[in-house]
């Protein structure tokens, strides 16, 4: 910074210049103090786990105001071909189906390099974290005075994240929030970001509700450079909340260390479209295999393919990287007519390779008992299971990872039979790369598969393979919206499938029995 000093006329003594030097130092010091340099919110904020009276605001501080650009390099992952001894890039294995290996995910230690002098801080999409403090202000939209959760430091051990719990909220109310950041030991705000959300209506309130759901948002398969198109169209529907059923991204190919695993979160949630969406819509997140560790993963699974990044780290990172309570399975009530159950499909499961029978499980006994008891205790008109994987299907014959597969048929039959005996109960599922509505041929239970977030990520089923259980089938991307309202006094739920451009493709409406 250049500062012009007036010419000093008639001053011959060096001592007489001291006051001028002091003034100069004060001016420079003041200018530097006013030029605050971070921290910033390059990965935005997330608002989650909203109930009638509480919400969690997720905040992460970053060194820079925005992500590293798209022209920056990506890390290169290679494996040694056991036959030729040559290094083969992991992305080429997936591109050709199996490359020189029998398995696209070889049980070998990966070699990771950062090309062109890059590092974990300078690869494409990187958002290095920064230390600092966070202040959260919030108020109902019709109230003048703000409440505050005073300055709190982010945790460098948790990717520079803090999750701030807001309590004593009013049911069925629209809230505004403002999140501010400052550097350590500073009293000046470096940046701020506004947001909004709505609390759940009271359990006796007959409220109209709509929410949107997606799955399978693999980063390379996004349909816009700045994110996914469907988020823009989903936002236009002004949903009460959003649910991501898992496979938020795919660790498999590049997350070969804890640092690279964190980078997956940073590059996804620094996409401008996602930053804008999540500051305006409250969310509930569920994890599946690819955003836990690796394809079809389960506790105790062994492979060298993921390098130094472990299953245990994957489960812990998920709890830190999204607004989440202590457990990944939970239930939430939205008014008189809606209750949802979000279940955990990875952490309690038996190995997929185990022979099916009474001891083989995906949910685990504790979660299954919790699910049945809380469902039976609920008086909500519509009860919705939101599952990361299918329960009804149909699914591909060779799959062995979900309740719609023969590999988990024993527990799947228990869940389907139980749910079919409950009035007005439906399944919303993720995982599958195509949209469908199906009706179980044995129990009549209806399952709605939301489909992937982009068309390029839609595959795995033949569009012409319409089976008797299919009420709707579309091998395409997009999202699903659920609406609950009272028509002539009768509670009604409507499931709507949209494509990535926000065009309505299918509607299924059911009235309460």
Size of the chain in residues:
513
Which pLDDT score, from 0 to 100, does residue 390 have? 98
Which pLDDT score, from 0 to 100, does residue 34 have? 52
What values do phi and psi take at 262, rounded to 5?
A: -60, -40
Rounded CA-CA distance 287/431 in Å is: 10
> Across-strand partners of 139?
176
What is the average pLDDT score of the chain? 93
Tens digits of residue pLDDT in 183-224? 999 999 999 999 999 999 999 999 999 999 999 999 999 999
Which pLDDT score, from 0 to 100, does residue 103 have? 73
Mean pLDDT of 225-252: 98
CATH code for the part of the protein at 45-64+127-197: 2.60.40.10
Mean pLDDT of 424-448: 98
Mean pLDDT of 19-27: 43
The pLDDT of residue 15 is above 60: no
Tens digits of residue pLDDT in 164-187? 999 999 999 999 999 999 999 999
Task: Give the whole-number percent of the chain exceeding pLDDT 90.
Answer: 88
Instruction: Considering the chain, tell me which residue range(s) the CATH 3.60.21.70 domain(s) occupy.
Output: 201-246+328-511
What angle do helix axes 311-321 and 258-269 make, rounded to 10 degrees? Answer: 30
- Cβ(251)–Cβ(306) under 8 Å? yes
Which pLDDT score, from 0 to 100, does residue 291 have? 98
- Cβ(363)–Cβ(343) under 8 Å? yes
Which pLDDT score, from 0 to 100, does residue 101 have? 54
Which pLDDT score, from 0 to 100, does residue 24 have? 41
Q: What is the largest CA-CA distance in the chain?
A: 103
- Cβ(381)–Cβ(336) under 8 Å? yes
Mean pLDDT of 469-476: 98
How many alpha carbons fall within 13 Å on the CB side of residue 400? Answer: 11
Instruction: Considering the chain, tell me which residue range(s) the CATH 2.60.40.10 domain(s) occupy.
Output: 45-64+127-197
Q: For residues 488 and 270, which has the higher predicted lDDT (pLDDT)?
A: 270
Of 129, 116, 128, whose CA–CA distance to 72 is shortest?
116
- Cβ(452)–Cβ(479) under 8 Å? no
Rounded CA-CA distance 193/65 in Å is: 12
> Across-strand partners of 101?
none
Which pLDDT score, from 0 to 100, does residue 325 have? 85
How many alpha carbons fall within 13 Å on the CB side of residue 500? Answer: 21
Which pLDDT score, from 0 to 100, does residue 21 have? 42
Which pLDDT score, from 0 to 100, does residue 104 have? 84
Mean pLDDT of 446-458: 98
Rounded CA-CA distance 304/290 in Å is: 16
The pLDDT of residue 433 is above 50: yes
Going by pLDDT thresholds of 50, 70 and 90, the confidence category of residue 36 is low
pTM: predicted TM-score of the whole model, two decimal places: 0.92
Which pLDDT score, from 0 to 100, does residue 475 have? 98
Mean pLDDT of 389-402: 97
What angle do helix axes 409-420 and 365-377 make, rounded to 10 degrees? Answer: 10
Tens digits of residue pLDDT in 274-297? 999 999 999 999 999 999 999 999
Q: For residues 194 and 12, which has the higher predicted lDDT (pLDDT)?
A: 194
Rounded CA-CA distance 386/278 in Å is: 20
- Listing from the earlier edge strand, what are the strands of the sheet with 133-140? 147-153, 133-140, 174-182, 191-198
Going by pLDDT thresholds of 50, 70 and 90, the confidence category of residue 102 is low
Show the beta-strand stretches assigned E in 234-329: 241-244, 282-285
Tens digits of residue pLDDT in 317-350? 999 999 998 899 999 999 999 999 999 999 999 9
Of 322, 317, 310, whose CA–CA distance to 286 is shortest?
322
Tens digits of residue pLDDT in 245-274? 999 999 999 999 999 999 999 999 999 999
Q: Is 172 helix (H, G, I), strand (E, B) or coil?
A: coil
Q: Which CATH architecture does the domain made up of 201-246+328-511 adopt?
A: 4-Layer Sandwich (3.60)
- Cβ(203)–Cβ(154) under 8 Å? no
Which pLDDT score, from 0 to 100, does residue 13 have? 44
């Amino acid at each position: 910074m250049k500062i012009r000093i007036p010419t000093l006329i008639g001053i011959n003594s060096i001592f007489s210049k001291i006051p001028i030097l002091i003034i100069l130092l004060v001016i420079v010091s003041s200018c530097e103090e006013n030029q605050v340099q971070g921290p910033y919110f390059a990965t935005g904020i997330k608002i989650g786990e909203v109930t009638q009276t509480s919400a969690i605001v997720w905040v992460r501080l970053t060194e820079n105001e925005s992500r590293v650009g798209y022209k920056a390099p990506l890390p290169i992952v290679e494996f040694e071909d056991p036959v030729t001894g040559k290094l083969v890039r992991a992305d080429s294995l997936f591109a050709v189906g199996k490359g020189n290996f029998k398995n696209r995910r070889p049980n070998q230690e990966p070699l990771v390099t950062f090309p062109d002098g890059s590092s974990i801080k300078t690869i494409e999409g990187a958002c290095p974290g920064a230390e600092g403090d966070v202040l959260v202000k919030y108020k109902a939209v019709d109230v003048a005075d703000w409440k505050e959760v005073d300055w709190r430091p982010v945790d460098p051990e948790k990717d520079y994240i803090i999750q701030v719990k807001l309590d004593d909220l009013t049911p069925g109310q629209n809230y505004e929030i403002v999140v501010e950041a400052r550097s350590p030991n500073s009293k000046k705000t470096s940046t701020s970001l506004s947001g909004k959300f709505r609390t759940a209506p009271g359990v006796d309130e007959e409220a109209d509700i709509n929410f949107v759901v997606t799955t399978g948002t693999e980063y390379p398969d996004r349909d816009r450079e700045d994110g996914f198109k469907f988020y823009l169209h989903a936002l236009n529907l002004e949903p009460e909340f959003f649910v991501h059923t898992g496979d938020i991204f795919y660790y498999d190919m590049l997350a070969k260390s804890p640092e690279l695993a964190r980078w997956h979160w940073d590059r996804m949630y620094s996409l401008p479209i996602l930053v804008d969406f999540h500051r305006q819509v409250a969310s509930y997140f569920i994890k599946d295999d690819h955003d836990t560790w690796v394809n079809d993963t389960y506790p105790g699974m062994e492979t060298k393919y993921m390098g130094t990044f472990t299953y245990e780290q994957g489960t812990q990172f998920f709890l830190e990287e999204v607004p989440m309570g202590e457990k990944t399975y939970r239930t939430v009530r939205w008014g008189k007519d809606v209750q949802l159950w979000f279940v955990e499909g990875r952490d309690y499961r038996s190995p997929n390779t185990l022979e099916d029978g009474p001891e083989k499980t995906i949910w685990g006994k504790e979660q299954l008992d919790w699910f049945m008891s809380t469902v039976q205790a609920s008086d909500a008109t519509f009860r919705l299971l939101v599952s990361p994987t299918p329960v009804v299907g149909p699914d591909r014959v060779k799959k062995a990872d979900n309740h719609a597969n023969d590999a988990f048929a024993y527990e799947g039959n228990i869940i389907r039979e139980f749910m079919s005996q409950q009035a007005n109960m439906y399944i919303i599922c993720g995982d599958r790369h195509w949209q469908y509505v199906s009706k179980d041929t044995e129990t009549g239970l209806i399952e709605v598969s939301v489909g992937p977030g982009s068309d390029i990520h839609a595959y795995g089923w033949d569009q012409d393979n319409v089976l008797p259980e299919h009420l709707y089938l579309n091998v395409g991307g997009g999202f699903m919206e659920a609406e609950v309202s009272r028509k002539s006094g009768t509670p009604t739920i409507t499931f709507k499938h949209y494509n990535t451009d926000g065009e309505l493709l299918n509607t299924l409406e059911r009235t309460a029995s």
